[in-house]
Amino acid sequence: MADPVEAPWRPVAGFRVLRLRQPLGRRLAQLLPGLVLFGVALALGVEGMLGVNPWTVFHGGAADKLGLSIGTLVILTGLVLLALSWLLHEPIGLGTLLNVVVIGPAMDLTLWIIPDLESIGWRLAALGVAPALLGLASGLYIGAGLGPGPRDGLMTALERRGLPVWAARTAIEVSALTLGWFMGGDVGVGTLWFALTVGWWVQRFLARLRIDSDRSDKGD
């Protein structure tokens, strides 16, 4: 008889803590580059100036209204969603916390380093590679298995309360897009490009980069 599947989270002092079956160092070596690359990919989408993904539409619109950098809005939004995840008793891992503090600064730094792209050719190139880089970054940080990002945590919270995953994801993305558009966020052909391509890239890279997929039933 096969051994029962071990739950990925264990209760500790009222919190749900991730069980680690692979060394933490290996996971961090994948997680941190993934989070930095995620910020770089988001910045390339902004540099394209042809429309960005729904959450960046929201971050950009809110940043303009508040007079803050877009990376700062990424951090502030992550903190709010992190608090919401805690209130909803969603699991919070090291990856969740680092997601909040790494992606925003990486995005701001990339936007500061890369000069404004005036040529339509360079803008199309930036937009063209951004979803693939976002997929690679997602595969790295999600595959590290150290906890979901705060935006993903909101999706799983809705799913645990009876909403199908696709409906939860769609509701969150549409809400972010709508709020961002009303605040003047960058909506355009790039927004559609992200919507049509990012999922395919995430699935492709995650299948190869998920650390726990290679663990053996022979045990530790």
Does any domain span residue 125?
yes
Does any domain span residue 67?
yes
Phi and psi angles of residue 209, each rounded to the nearest 5 degrees, phi first: -110, 0
Model pLDDT, residue 18? 54
Model pLDDT, residue 23? 77
Does any domain span residue 11?
no
Model pLDDT, residue 198? 87
* Structural domain of 133: 22-211
Tokens of 213: 């997929």
Model pLDDT, residue 14? 42
Does any domain span residue 9?
no
Model pLDDT, residue 164? 83
Tell the burial category of 5 from Cβ atoms under 10 Å away from its Cβ (0-12, 13-18, 19+). exposed
Model pLDDT, residue 20? 52
Model pLDDT, residue 149? 86
Model pLDDT, residue 5? 36
Phi and psi angles of residue 31, each rounded to the nearest 5 degrees, phi first: -65, -50
Does any domain span residue 16?
no
Model pLDDT, residue 186? 93
Does any domain span residue 219?
no
Model pLDDT, residue 3? 38
Model pLDDT, residue 115? 87
* Alpha carbons 49 and 187: distance in angstroms, whole number: 9
Model pLDDT, residue 12? 41
What's the whole-model pTM score? 0.83
Does any domain span residue 135?
yes
DSSP labels for the chain? -PPPPPPSEEEETTEEEE--SS-HHHHHHHHHHHHHHHHHHHHHHHHHTS---HHHHHHHHHHHHHT--HHHHHHHHHHHHHHHHHHTT----HHHHHHHHHHHHHHHHHHHHSPP--SHHHHHHHHHHHHHHHHHHHHHHHHTTS---HHHHHHHHHHHTT--HHHHHHHHHHHHHHHHHHTT---SHHHHHHHHHHHHHHHHHHHHH-GGGG--TT--
Does any domain span residue 220?
no
Per-residue pLDDT of the chain (220 residues; tens, 9 = 90+): 333 334 455 544 344 545 555 578 889 999 999 999 999 999 999 999 999 999 999 999 999 999 999 999 999 999 999 998 888 888 888 999 999 999 999 999 999 999 888 899 999 999 999 999 999 999 999 888 898 888 887 877 887 888 886 788 788 888 999 999 999 999 999 999 998 898 889 888 988 998 875 443 333 3
Structural domain count, the chain: 1
Model pLDDT, residue 158? 82
